[in-house]
Structure 1
Amino acid sequence: MTLSYMPGFGNDFETESLPGALPQGRNSPQQPAYGLYAEQFSGSPFTAPRGANERSWLYRIRPSVRHHGRFKATTAYPEWKSAPNIGDNELAIGQLRWNPTPMPNVETDFISGIRTMTTAGDIYTQVGMAAHVYAANVSMVDDHFFNADGELLVVPQEGGVRFVTEMGVIEVQPGEIAVLPRGLTFKVELIDGPVRGYICENYGAKFTLPDRGPIGANCLANPRDFKTPVAWFEEKEKPCRLVVKWCGSFHVTEIDHSPLDVVAWHGNYAPYKYDLSTYSPVGAILFDHPDPSIFTVLTAPSGEEGTANIDFVIFPPRWLVAEDTFRPPWYHRNIMSEFMGLIRGQYDAKEEGFVPGGISLHNMMLAHGPDASGFEKASKVDLKPVKLENTMAFMFETRFPQMLTRYAAETDTLQHDYVDCWAGLRKRFDGTVRGDWT
């Protein structure tokens, strides 16, 4: 069973794996049932306003202090970078695009298969983000992980993954997303073979649902479609490892048991999943092309109203009906930096070269828009209602510049000829003829 979950709205949920494991009417009884330990898991300052205060009470076999033994620094994850990561490569600025990340040819689990593409902001002051890709071909068995630096928004592109967390199990397939809160201990199992996808590591305020404003009470992402796991626990007495990412560095400790031992929990700080097909898009029904903000699924706010630390935006199947309108995204320059991926199908502004598993990066104030063939097609097509089908693209958008990592600048998947997709945009101006689109 899963429960509906409302990210960032302060709702409280409860579940248990054994009857009576969850105490009623109090959080920290003197003697919890089954000999469990009560432990609070906080995702916000203690004095945050009630609506923004996030915490869960966990009732577990051992307290987490028994899972955090003597740590040793490790250099086992050299391609996972954190901001600030400046001057890591010599590649000049520009519009960039990559082919899909290849599957590994040696045994690689989820954490080992993470490669950072961009970083933004500052991990020490907890602002900004990092955009990663992952590719893995084996499950994590006795290794576990938690990230003290930020929450992880995971976007599978190929193959399903099972997040076995201390608060339950979440399975996600391509077309779904999962959000793992800062500090949550988990391991990752592969459901049906090798996997590949994208990760947004959010250093700042937690992801939440955006305000709908004039849209009103319905459409976009609806709270009832977010799901969180029921309690599940593992009483495993054998050697395990716990790897921790803390301020950009990695540390490992050896323990003699599984840390996934929460028997019951209640609260509002938890992992969750969302099926992107349940997103209800809105759009223009007469003319003109709204800003892509109408496709925002989740937002991580900054201290400035209306300016996001991160927006998670999708471009799902939808009807296009606007008349006398250039329907694909227009040519534009803006202050936001856009990391874009394609889960399946085609993207209407880039029908060639941008393939499922690929990536594009358009940093702040660097012009971009449809390629030459996309422009020609959209400029001359008969504007009948048409439905975009079998497509799902997304964007990690941030107010901060996204700094390229050395891995991203030097990987063989970088398309060095990407900028040529606009070479065919010829001069059309003729001051003596009005409306010539031949």
Structure 2
Amino acid sequence: MAYSYMPGFGNDFETEMLPGALPQGRNSPQRPAYGLYAEQLSGSPFTAPRGTNERSWLYRIRPSVKHTGRFLPASYPLWKTAPGVSDHELALGQYRWDPVPVPDVPTDFLSGMHTMTTAGDVLGQAGMAAHVYVANTSMVDDHFFNADGELLVVPQVGGLRLVTEMGVIEITPGEIAVLPRGLVFKVELMDRQARGYVCENYGAKLTLPDRGPIGANCLANPRDFKTPHAWFEEKETPCRLTVKWCGQFHQTELGHSPLDVVAWHGNYAPYKYDLSTFSPVGAILFDHPDPSIFTVLTAPSGEEGTANIDFVIFPPRWLVAEDTFRPPWYHRNIMSEFMGLIRGQYDAKAEGFVPGGISLHNLMLAHGPDAQGFEKASRVELAPHKLEDTLAFMFETRYPQMVTRYAAEVETRQDNYIDCWRDLKKRFNGTIEGDWTQ
């Protein structure tokens, strides 16, 4: 699959599948080449500042008005939208789930979407929803676009071929893709079955975080984000388009494929990123930095430094800090943390948190290493040590994450998660050394 480097968020790039399809020096010529239609896809208000103004010009076989007919209501009952409604009896708490099993009946990316949490308000374009998807069949003549927000797709099992109107992106576990709000796409499976996570971002578009004192390098570098080359299909067969709009689903029947963009240029586009190219930074003497040093992408809010969403990863890395408790410390946080595990083991949990699993620690609810992880980290000899074959992530938001009825009642929820801290001992005895003989 061919990709173009994304030289920097906010910069234009261009691609064409047929030579001369992309106009030079103008956006909407009177008669575009090949009999194409010029169409603009805007991801920001027209008057947004230059640094945040997002749009792309598409040159397509038919304009999008020909890709929408009369809509009829559609139902995807397990895909929920904020604001969440407490329609279950699960009390407040810290939660953890085992992986969602892949069903035996035919299930594609849309029908296999299961919402775990919602946060904020889609009508106010603030907040997010955290989903798990499971699939065992491809979308062939079915297509989709989401008017409610952009989708951050994180595979955990099986590769996905994301066939979009702006090109094709293939991702496997260890990679991510971002599909902008309003982009038409379908999802094909690269393997027999697939499972993963999706963050549906209602707010400002995901972008790279400011590095501050870190400077020009490390974390996620712009050159490692890649957009697809132009690709189209000229298919005159019955197709269907599903739209998610304000939390509701609508479908229309088409007589052709809507994936007919022959060329495009702009800065509003889907992209992929290989998480192995993330360059982590950390303490090289003592103390444990805040997890914000692992931020790959952030969706800002109206308050500086307080994100609508942070996408944070915990990749393989060296631990070298001396006289330091190396795993994440016990903490309460203004942010709400939805965590998933792509592979390996998370260093703060000895057992129970497995690849494909989920944990949720909402704002101001205490959490941290389980008792076994605390014991190990407190007594281990602190030589340089590399965490290998591990990859966890967080969808973190300033808003409380409301657990859906599905997540509250699903059999994979671990009723005994809270017990992982039960064996933490009182070591205070009035002496400066404390009682570490227990």
Output aligned runs, 1:43-192, within 5 Å.
Answer: 43-75=43-75, 77-192=76-191
Equivalent in the alignment of 1:407: 406
Equivalent in the alignment of 2:5: 4
Output aligned runs, 1:300-379, within 5 Å.
Answer: 300-379=299-378
Q: Take 1:156 and 1:121, find their aligned partners in 2: how far apart are those partners?
A: 25
Q: Take 2:45 and 2:236, find their aligned partners in 1: how far apart are those partners?
A: 34
Q: Take 1:149 and 1:432, find their aligned partners in 2: how far apart are those partners?
A: 57
Q: Take 1:432 and 1:273, find their aligned partners in 2: how far apart are those partners?
A: 54
Q: Is the 8 A contact 2:130 2:199 kept in 1?
A: yes
- 2:418 is paired with a residue of what secondary structure? helix
Q: TM-score, normalised by structure 2?
A: 0.99
> 1:252-296, CA deviations, whole angstroms, 9 ceiling, x for partnerless residues?
000100000000000000000000000000000000000000000
Cα pair distance change 1:303/1:433, threshold 3 Å: closer
- 1:376 is paired with a residue of what secondary structure? helix
Q: Is the 8 A contact 1:166 1:260 kept in 2?
A: yes
Q: Take 2:349 and 2:85, find their aligned partners in 1: how far apart are those partners?
A: 30
Q: Take 2:66 and 2:367, find their aligned partners in 1: how far apart are those partners?
A: 52
- The residue type equivalent to 1:434 in the other structure is E
| Deviation of the 1:86 alpha carbon | 2.1
Q: Take 2:110 and 2:97, find their aligned partners in 1: how far apart are those partners?
A: 21
Q: Is the 8 A contact 2:78 2:115 kept in 1?
A: yes
Aligned length: 436
- 1:182 is paired with a residue of what secondary structure? coil
- 1:305 is paired with a residue of what secondary structure? coil
- 1:355 is paired with a residue of what secondary structure? coil
| Deviation of the 1:435 alpha carbon | 4.3
- The residue type equivalent to 2:64 in the other structure is S
- 1:377 is paired with a residue of what secondary structure? helix
| Deviation of the 1:351 alpha carbon | 2.1
**Residue 223, structure 1, aligned to residue 222, structure 2:** yes
- 2:131 is paired with a residue of what secondary structure? strand
Equivalent in the alignment of 1:205: 204
- The residue type equivalent to 2:120 in the other structure is G
Q: Give percent identity, aligned residues only.
A: 81
| Deviation of the 1:432 alpha carbon | 3.6
Equivalent in the alignment of 1:18: 18
- The residue type equivalent to 1:46 in the other structure is F
Q: Take 1:143 and 1:432, find their aligned partners in 2: how far apart are those partners?
A: 68
Q: Take 1:104 and 1:433, find their aligned partners in 2: how far apart are those partners?
A: 56
- The residue type equivalent to 1:25 in the other structure is G
Q: Take 1:269 and 1:68, find their aligned partners in 2: how far apart are those partners?
A: 21
> 1:126-172, CA deviations, whole angstroms, 9 ceiling, x for partnerless residues?
00000000000000000000000000000000000000000000000
Q: Take 1:281 and 1:16, find their aligned partners in 2: how far apart are those partners?
A: 35
Q: TM-score, normalised by structure 1?
A: 0.99
Q: Take 1:351 and 1:166, find their aligned partners in 2: how far apart are those partners?
A: 44
Q: Is the 8 A contact 1:88 1:404 kept in 2?
A: no
Displaced runs of 4 or more, over 6 A: none
Q: Is the 8 A contact 2:428 2:434 kept in 1?
A: no
Equivalent in the alignment of 2:37: 37
- 1:140 is paired with a residue of what secondary structure? coil
Q: Is the 8 A contact 1:146 1:186 kept in 2?
A: yes
| RMSD over aligned Cα atoms | 0.7
